[in-house]
Amino acid sequence: TLFLDRIDALNPSLNAFITVDRDGALTAARAADARLAAGTAGPLTGIPLAHKDVFCTEGVRTTCASRMLENFVSPYDAHVVSQLKAAGAVMLGKTNMDEYAMGSSNENSHFGAAKNPWDASRVPGGSSGGSAVAVAARLAPMATGTDTGGSVRQPAALTGVTGIKPTYGVVSRYGMIAYASSLDQGGAFGRSAEDCALLLSAMAGFDPRDSTSVERETEDYTRDLGKPLAGLRIGLPKEFFAEGMDDDVRAATEAALDQYRQLGATTVEVSLPNAKLAIPAYYVIAPAEASSNLSRFDGVRYGHRAPEYGDLADMYSKSRAQGFGAEVKRRILVGTYVLSHGYYDAYYLQAQKLRRLIAEDFIAAFKQCDVIAGPTSPTVAWPIGEKSDDPVQMYLQDIYTIAVNLAGLPGLSLPCGTGAGDLPVGLQLIGNYFDEARLLNVAHGFQ
C-alpha cells in the first residue's frame, strides 16, 4: 500500500494516473506473497508497476487518453501486460499520455496534462508523460511506455529517469493500441538502467500474434551490467552537436561525455547526414499510418458513439468529431491527404525513401563506433502551454529521437545532470540492432 497511498496523496496534483486499480493491485500483491512463500518468485514478483494507458488490460479500462475510449474495457490483456502478470508484477494502474500517443508534452490528453514533478508548472514530456512522472515522483518503481518517435526517451529525459526503447520487433505490439504501426515499440521506464533491464527482460519476447515480432531467443538484458567500459567507442554525430540544442543541455551532455572518457571510453565523430530529414519523413509516415489505424474507431463496435445522429455516415462523423481531440484530427487529416491518389508518390513514397537513407547513415556510423551518444531533447522541460498552440514547435522537440524509430534501432535516455532551473537533462544512447544489453550496461556504468 506504500505506493497506492503515495498515489492517493500526489496524483491529484501530478495527474500521472488516469485509472488506479487499488483492489486489483492488492489481490496481485497477495498472489505475489504466496509465490514468494512457495519459492516460485522471479525478479519482478511483487514489484509494483504502472502501465501506459495504451496497453489493453482485461477488466481495467484502457482509454488511450481519448474521449473516444473513455469507458472502454478490453476483453483481453496486451502481450506486455500478460507477460508482466505472469512474472508476478503488481499493476497499480494506467498512466496518463498524449491522446493515442500523439504529442511531446502530455498536453494532448482528454484527462488533462500530467505535471512535471520537478516543477509542476512544466510539462513532463510525452507521449508517455504519466509513466515518466509516476517513476520520477516515486508513485511506482517502474512503468511501461511506448515510443513511436521518442515517447519513452523524451519524457524520461525531461523528468530525470531512465527509459529504453528496444529494437523494433523486440516487444510485441499485440494489445498495444496502434498509432503508427511500423514505428510503435513498447519500452521501459525505471529509476536506473538496471531496473529498465529487469522490466524489459520481462516485456520482450517473440509473440506470433504480432506479425512484426522478431523470432529470437528471449534475452536477459541484465547480463552485461557491470562490464567495464574501457575501450568503448562512442560515436558523436556531428549534426547533433552542430546547433539546435540549448546551452544548458549542451553543457550537461559534454560533462557526461567527459565522464565516459574518464571511464575509459573513446569518442569519435560520426556523421548522420540525413538525420535532418527525419522530422519531415516522420510527420508524413506517422500520420499516414495513424489515419489508417484510427479508422477503426467508428462508434459502431466499441468506443464513443454520438448520442444523436441522422444516418450512418452522420453517426460516424459525429462520433469521431466528438471522440477525437484536435491533434488527433490534425494527424488524420494530414495522413489522409498524403495517402490520397495523386499525392502518394509525392509524399508517402518520398518519406519511405528518406527512411531508408536515414537507416543507412546509422549502419555506416556503427562501423566506426559501438554506441552513438547525443542529447535526448534540445531543451529542458518547458512551461505548460508554451508550445501547445504551435504544432511545428512541438514537432521540433523530436529532432534527436525520431531518426532512431525510422531506422528501427534501440535507444535509451539516462539522466545526466541538470540544466536551467535545476531541471533534468537526459543523455541519449543509440545502439546497433539488438544491442540493448550493451546500451543498458553503458548507461549502468554512468550511474
Is residue 413 part of the annotated active site? The answer reads no
Contact in structure between 324 and 110 (CB atoms under 8 Å): no
Please identify, using beta-carbon distances, which residue of 313 and 392 lies nearer to ligand GLN. 392
The residue range among 29-37, 145-153, 194-202, 219-227 that interacts with ligand GLN, by the rule CB under 6 A, is 145-153
Q: Which of 149, 160, 299, 323 binds ligand GLN (CB under 6 A)?
A: 149
54: phi then psi, degrees, rounded to nearest 5: -100, -15
Of 394-413, binders to ligand GLN (CB under 6 A) are 398
Interaction mask 178-197, ligand GLN, x per CB under 6 A: -x------------------
| Spatial CA neighbour of 43 closest among 51, 52, 34, 32 | 32
Is residue 211 part of the annotated active site? The answer reads no
Q: How many residues bind ligand GLN (CB under 6 A)?
A: 13
Bridging pattern class, strands 142-146 and 186-190? antiparallel
The residue range among 27-35, 99-107, 134-142, 233-241 that interacts with ligand GLN, by the rule CB under 6 A, is 99-107
Q: Which of 46, 88, 103, 190 binds ligand GLN (CB under 6 A)?
A: 103
Q: Which of 102, 198, 214, 272 binds ligand GLN (CB under 6 A)?
A: 102
Q: Which of 150, 190, 205, 325 binds ligand GLN (CB under 6 A)?
A: 150
Of 200-219, binders to ligand GLN (CB under 6 A) are none
The residue range among 11-19, 30-38, 142-150, 190-198 that interacts with ligand GLN, by the rule CB under 6 A, is 142-150
Residues 6+ apart with CB under 8 A from 222: 194, 197, 198, 201, 437, 440
How far apart are alpha carbons 88 and 43 in whole angstroms? 9
Which grid coordinates belong to 297?
474507431
Among candidate residues 66, 151, 172, 377, the one labeled active-site is 151
Please identify, using beta-carbon distances, which residue of 219 and 386 lies nearer to ligand GLN. 386
How far apart are alpha carbons 188 and 80 in whole angstroms? 11
Q: What is the DSSP letter of 298?
A: S
Interaction mask 235-274, ligand GLN, x per CB under 6 A: ----------------------------------------
Nearest 5 degrees, angle CA 114-CA 204-CA 151?
25
How many CA atoms are closer than 13 Å to the CA of 65, on its beta-carbon side?
Answer: 37
Strand order in the sheet with 186-190: 17-20, 90-95, 48-52, 142-146, 186-190, 162-165, 411-418, 424-431, 371-375, 233-237, 266-270
Distance in Å, CB of 273 to ligand GLN, minimum: 23
Distance in Å, CB of 395 to ligand GLN, minimum: 7
Among candidate residues 109, 127, 172, 388, the one labeled active-site is 127
Residue 341 neighbours by CB distance under 10 Å: 6
Residues 6+ apart with CB under 8 A from 89: 28, 44, 45, 46, 47, 48, 49, 202
Q: Which of 127, 131, 167, 293 binds ligand GLN (CB under 6 A)?
A: 127
Q: Which residue has the cell 512544466?
A: 122
143: contact with ligand GLN by CB under 6 A: no
Q: Which of 21, 147, 194, 298 binds ligand GLN (CB under 6 A)?
A: 147
How far apart are alpha carbons 405 and 218 in whole angstroms? 22
Is residue 388 part of the annotated active site? The answer reads no
Residue 371's beta-bridge partner residues?
234, 431
The residue range among 21-29, 147-155, 207-215, 253-261 that interacts with ligand GLN, by the rule CB under 6 A, is 147-155
| Spatial CA neighbour of 146 closest among 307, 286, 330 | 286
Q: Which of 56, 176, 286, 373 binds ligand GLN (CB under 6 A)?
A: 286
Which residues are known catalytic residues? 52, 127, 151
Can you give the binding site for ligand GLN, defined by CB under 6 A?
101-104, 127, 147-151, 179, 286, 398
